[in-house]
């Protein structure tokens, strides 16, 4: 009912971004009109083959250099405008961590799926939705500002509300920064959930996040999930007495074709002596600027984006 009209077109591997946008806009409005209020029946195992596909991109990050006192700990990349579930892709047009579908369903709050801050008050829609506040309670929230002592993407006053630490980007020190935990439905002040395996499929939650897989659904028995599983490799490019430089390659990051610009979130964590250093950056990827490259190995064309860590990622 909700999402079937455009299936045929979606199956094509060669994407026309503009055409996709139009189609999805229509289907988006349909969703809004019918709004699927009764809950959406998800596709089960048997129908997996018909799930639509979206374009994917390979990202190469050059010049990630660490001194010999620094040790790399974690690297995560995800697209804030799209998530992958067993039943297919879900879009998050405003990249606030709350799917469009969920925003539309939360009718009482009147959330805008195209606006991360529906209420213009430094509390993003995800926080509002998860706090369980009703629309009438929102004006009573403490007045917030953009002041963010730890630069973790969550303003201090909002951190107060969440109970997270104002001066620690990773309040529970589980290796996943607070904002990332919020985006993936984990608790930023609980240490255990990063190492737990919510769907007991043998892949712990941190690994699920770094490979773009769902946290509370098994990865097994799904060609669809296999196709969109992120493959991340790194290689040492140069190495001398002072520093080691790495090149990261991310293969197969899914893109939201409806939007002109996708918000790609990067997270680098490294350790200097015993101190952890968090680099948490958003890169705005313009779809129309992408150029297809031939991938003779797989006999198809792929989008490839090369980024420089020093100039394009590690700058706020």
Partner 1 sequence: MKTIHRLFPMILAINLNFILIFINFSLLQSCKGKKELDPLQISTSIEVAQVEAEFCDQKFQDIKTQKLYINLIDTSASAQKTDPTYIMRFHPIIQDSQADHGRAEDLYTLINFNDDAQVLIPWTPRGTENTPYYNNLVYNTYNNPSSWGGDQGFSDMTKGVLLAKSLIIKYIEDNVIFSGNNTVLEITLMVASDGRPTSQTQGELTEAQVLDAFVGNAQNPNNGLMGLLKNSNYSRYINKINVVSTYFWGNMLGGQYGATADPTHEALMREIALRTGGRFLMFNYGRPVNYNLFGDAAKKIKKELLSAHLHFKSFVWDPKSKEPKYDSDGDGIMDEKERELGSNPEVIDTDGDGLNDGVEYKLTGKPCRENDCSKSEIFPLCISFADENNVISDLDGDGLNNCEENLLATSYSVADTNFNGITDYEEYQMGINPALPNSWTMDSDGDKKRNFDEILQFLPSNINNNQLADVGIKPVTYFMEKTLELNDGRSCYRLVINNVPSRFNATPTDLYLVYQDFSSTKTNYFSRASFNVSANQSTKIINEDFKQIDLDTIP
Work out how close the CB of 281 gets to partner 1 at its nearest, in angstroms, rounded to a whole number: 25
CA of residue 170 relative to chain centroid, distance: 17
Q: Which helix (H) or strand (E) holds 72?
A: strand 70-79
Minimum Å distance from CB 278 to partner 1?
19
The structure tokens listed for 265 are 């979130």
Among 142, 237, 272, 310, binds partner 1 (CB under 8 A): 142
- Strands 56-67 and 300-308, by their bridges, are parallel
- Positions in 148-207 near partner 1 (CB under 8 A): 157, 160-166, 185, 187, 189-193, 195-202, 204
99: tokens are 């799917």
| Beta carbon nearer to partner 1, 159 or 287 | 159
Candidates 60-68, 105-113, 256-264, 280-288; binding stretch for partner 1 (CB under 8 A): 105-113
For the CA atoms of the chain, what is the radius of gyration? 20
Query: Which residue lies nearer to partner 1 by CB, 110 or 202?
Result: 202
Say whether residue 262 binds partner 1 (CB under 8 A). no
12 is a site residue for partner 1 (CB under 8 A): no
Instruction: Give 56 or 102: the residue with its C-beta nearer to partner 1.
Output: 102
Per CB under 8 A, 101 contacts partner 1: yes
Q: What span, in angstroms and rounded, lies between the C-alpha atoms of 72 and 77?
A: 15
Q: Which of residues 30-49 bind partner 1 (CB under 8 A)?
A: 37, 39-42, 44-45
Q: How many chain residues interact with partner 1 (CB under 8 A)?
A: 54
Q: Which of 76, 127, 136 lies closest to 97 in space, CA to CA? A: 127
Phi, psi torsion values for 263, nearest 5 degrees: -90, 110
| Binding status of residue 254 toward partner 1 by CB under 8 A | no
Judged by CB, which is closer to partner 1: 65, or 90?
A: 90
* Residue among 56 and 191 whose Cβ is closer to partner 1: 191
Question: At residue 277, what are phi and psi to the nearest 5 degrees?
Answer: -120, 125
Of 10 and 141, CB closest to partner 1: 141
Largest Cα–Cα separation, the chain: 63
| Cα–Cα distance, 139 to 137 (Å, whole number) | 6
SS3 73: strand
Whichever of 6 and 197 has its CB closer to partner 1, that residue is 197
Q: Which residues pair with 303 in a beta bridge?
A: 57, 292
Rounded Cα gap, residues 116 and 298, in angstroms: 38
Binding mask 282-311 for partner 1 (x = CB under 8 A): ------------------------------
End-to-end, the C-alpha distance of the chain in Å comes to: 42
Where on the chain is the footprint of partner 1 (CB under 8 A)? 37, 39-42, 44-45, 85-87, 101-102, 105-107, 129-133, 137, 140-143, 157, 160-166, 185, 187, 189-193, 195-202, 204, 216-218, 220-221
């Amino acid at each position: 009912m909700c999402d079937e009209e455009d299936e045929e077109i979606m199956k094509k591997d060669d994407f026309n971004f503009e055409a996709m946008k139009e189609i999805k806009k229509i289907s988006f409005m349909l969703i809004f009109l019918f709004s699927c209020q009764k809950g959406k029946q998800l596709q089960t195992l048997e129908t997996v083959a018909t799930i639509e596909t979206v374009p994917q991109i390979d990202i190469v990050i050059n010049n990630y250099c660490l001194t010999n006192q620094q040790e790399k700990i974690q690297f995560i990349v995800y697209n804030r405008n799209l998530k992958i579930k067993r039943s297919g892709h879900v879009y998050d047009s405003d990249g606030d961590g709350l799917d469009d579908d969920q925003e539309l369903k939360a009718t009482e709050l009147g959330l805008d799926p195209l606006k991360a801050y529906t209420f213009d008050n430094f509390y993003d829609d995800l926080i509002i939705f998860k706090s369980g506040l009703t629309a009438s309670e929102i004006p009573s929230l403490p007045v917030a500002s953009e002041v963010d002592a730890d630069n973790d993407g969550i303003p201090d006053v909002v951190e107060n509300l969440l109970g997270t630490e104002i001066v620690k980007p990773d309040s529970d020190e589980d290796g996943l920064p607070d904002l990332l935990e919020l985006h993936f439905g984990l608790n930023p002040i609980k240490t255990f959930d990063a190492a737990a395996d919510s769907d007991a499929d043998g892949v712990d939650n941190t690994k699920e996040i770094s490979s773009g897989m769902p946290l509370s659904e098994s990865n097994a028995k799904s060609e669809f999930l296999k196709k969109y599983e992120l493959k991340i490799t790194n290689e040492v490019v140069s190495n001398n007495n002072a520093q080691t430089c790495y090149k990261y390659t991310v293969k197969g990051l899914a893109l939201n074709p409806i939007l002109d610009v996708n918000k790609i979130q990067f997270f680098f964590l490294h350790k200097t002596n015993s101190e952890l250093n968090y680099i948490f950056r958003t890169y705005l990827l313009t779809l129309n600027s992408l150029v297809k490259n031939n991938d003779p190995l797989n006999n198809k064309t792929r989008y490839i984006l090369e980024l420089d860590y020093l100039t394009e990622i590690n700058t706020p």
